[in-house]
Structure 1
Amino acid sequence: MSTIELSRGPVEYTVLGGDPEAAPLVLLHEGLGCIAMWRRFPARLAAATGRRALVFSRHGYGSSGPARLPRSPRYMHEEAHEVLPELLDRLGLHRPVLVGHSDGASIALLHAAAHPVEAAVVMAPHLFVEDRTLRGIEVARAAFASGPLARELAFYHQDPGAVFHGWSQVWLSPEFRDWDIGPDLAGVTAPVLLVQGDRDQYGTTAHLDAAQHALPGPVRRLELSDCGHTPHLERTDDVIEAVHTFLVDPALRQETRP
């Protein structure tokens, strides 16, 4: 694992090998995630697509430096428009394929709306605040308070309390209730693959519907049966096959608007 110093502090990262001429994959983790919590998915995806893959932990996660807490209701915009561009520039990675999960999927869409990307794969994205999401966070808060989730997060993060409370408090705050990134998506012209499980405890396919309506560029959609909030872990083979097919589909390039 390597570390790079950014304006907001150090970030841990790793780059998996692949074709240097192909657009690199950039993986963006969920609200409680980090490099290690992707497990073997990045390596398998890089191998299947033949591309390099950047995997990193955002500030406050894993072994990266601390985050600025409490988070602003616009924290995902800040990650998309300030932190991620700086990281990619420092590493010399241009026009990436963004692969985001949950919060990371929202960050991917926001980044793609304002910066050049080759494509975006968004798994279980949040476009707005849904009642199911808030109920799921309340369940997670109870699991953290009772111990199991706190113990699990301690395996992956230097400060599991800051990770959990920094994420849950902003989502459950009154200021966040009107958060909605739908209007931002008008700037996304790159191809987008939307992925959602039918048993996702943090969101419904209403987010995919909203994304399809708002995105002006080519869109593909994958709904997975008997799958919860982590398609890349629960249905790994299906997700990898779908991403590979999506990235080599010549029709997407023809549909992409200049």
Structure 2
Amino acid sequence: MQNPATTAFVSDFAELPATASHGPLRIEYRWVNEAAGNAPIAVFLHEGLGSVAMWRDWPQALCERLGMRGLVYSRPGYGLSTPREHAVKWPVDFMTAQARDILPALFGVLDIDMQARKRMWVIGHSDGGSIALLYAALHPDALAGAVVIAPHIFVEDLSVESIAQTKALYETTDLRSKLSRYHSDVDSAFYGWNDIWLNAAFREWRIVDELAAIKQALLAVQGHDDNYGTMAQIDTIGERVPHAQLVKLDACGHSPHRDAPDALNEAIAAFISRQRR
């Protein structure tokens, strides 16, 4: 049953059958800018504490600008999707599993065929940006290009310090109450993300070597004032993917779609426009 406080939007749900890598999953999703008809699809991959509702109206506004349809969904453990069981810990390679298994399975259930996937763009923020990079590397023939916003490709001290501070805020301030508007099981969502990022084993996580497999168009965006990652993240992307375009935004933190939406939308629209010529 949908919690009316969780989202201002009406969501649909996709049922993913159990596989060797996961049990049956109920995935919350929403189409935006459906008036675009048979236009290419932009798939939005949310941050570590994100969900369908937490994107607010940015995907709709961007898709209208791009002339695309948009698919927004909540990963398992977030929003109104199947919650993470509280005793279950995300594995170190949890983002790879999302790109390799969950996302293609969702496309299959939603009848997004290979022809549509070849025209598709993946747009990911933070953890979602990392998943977008992994999807582009694992499925090079199943997309037109990727846009990654404040992605992580290795773990920095800054990231761990900020995530530890966020845990303190969650447990001592009204942050938990605020996040509960976006997740049906807010503790499941928060601790699934927080626990893995603060796990000592996760300090060794990195996807730098995987980047070389990315062949399609790639735009990487980072804010100069991001407290969850430094410019080393997208600079390394530029080194490993020479055809990637990098955009560095002034007066912008970890969430460019909230901190600097006009500059971000302009950069994405200009980049995608050039790929269509």
TM category (shorter chain) comes to over 0.9
Q: 2-side partners of 1:148 and 1:117: how far apart?
A: 40
The residue identity in structure 2 corresponding to 1:79 is Q
Q: Equivalent residues in 2 for 1:29-178 (5 A)? A: 29-67=46-84, 69-93=88-112, 94-95=117-118, 96-115=120-139, 116-178=142-204
TM norm structure 1 = 0.94
- 1:15-38 CA-to-partner distances (Å, cap 9, x unmatched) read 111534432100000000001111
- 1:53-103 CA-to-partner distances (Å, cap 9, x unmatched) read 000001111111123621000000000000001111222331320000000
1:26: which partner in 2?
43
Q: 2-side partners of 1:174 and 1:122: how far apart?
A: 26
Q: 2-side partners of 1:180 and 1:5: how far apart?
A: 31
Preserved contact between residue 196 and residue 222 of structure 1 (Cα < 8 Å): yes
The residue identity in structure 2 corresponding to 1:4 is A
Instruction: State the shift of 1:147 in Å.
Output: 2.7
CA RMSD of aligned residues (A): 1.4
Match of 1:240 among 245, 256, 265: 265
Q: 1-side partners of 2:240 and 2:39: how far apart?
A: 28
The residue identity in structure 1 corresponding to 2:14 is I
1:6: which partner in 2?
16
The residue identity in structure 2 corresponding to 1:63 is L
The alignment covers a number of residue pairs equal to 251
Preserved contact between residue 27 and residue 100 of structure 1 (Cα < 8 Å): yes
Preserved contact between residue 122 and residue 145 of structure 2 (Cα < 8 Å): yes
The residue identity in structure 2 corresponding to 1:222 is V
Gaps of 5+ in 1: 254-258
Q: Secondary structure at the match of 1:177?
A: helix
2:274: which partner in 1?
249
TM norm structure 2 = 0.87
The residue identity in structure 1 corresponding to 2:51 is C
**Identity over the aligned pairs, expressed in percent?**
39
Q: Secondary structure at the match of 1:127?
A: coil
The residue identity in structure 1 corresponding to 2:241 is L
The residue identity in structure 1 corresponding to 2:103 is L
Preserved contact between residue 12 and residue 57 of structure 1 (Cα < 8 Å): yes
Match of 1:209 among 218, 224, 235: 235
The residue identity in structure 1 corresponding to 2:81 is S
Q: Secondary structure at the match of 1:213?
A: helix
- Pair 18,187 (structure 1): closer, same or farther in 2 beyond 3 Å: farther
Preserved contact between residue 26 and residue 98 of structure 1 (Cα < 8 Å): yes
- Could you list the runs of 4 or more consecutive aligned residues of structure 1 that deviate by over 6 angstroms after TM superposition? none
Preserved contact between residue 9 and residue 66 of structure 1 (Cα < 8 Å): no
Q: Secondary structure at the match of 2:84?
A: coil
Q: 1-side partners of 2:207 and 2:160: how far apart?
A: 17
Q: 1-side partners of 2:145 and 2:27: how far apart?
A: 24
The residue identity in structure 2 corresponding to 1:240 is N
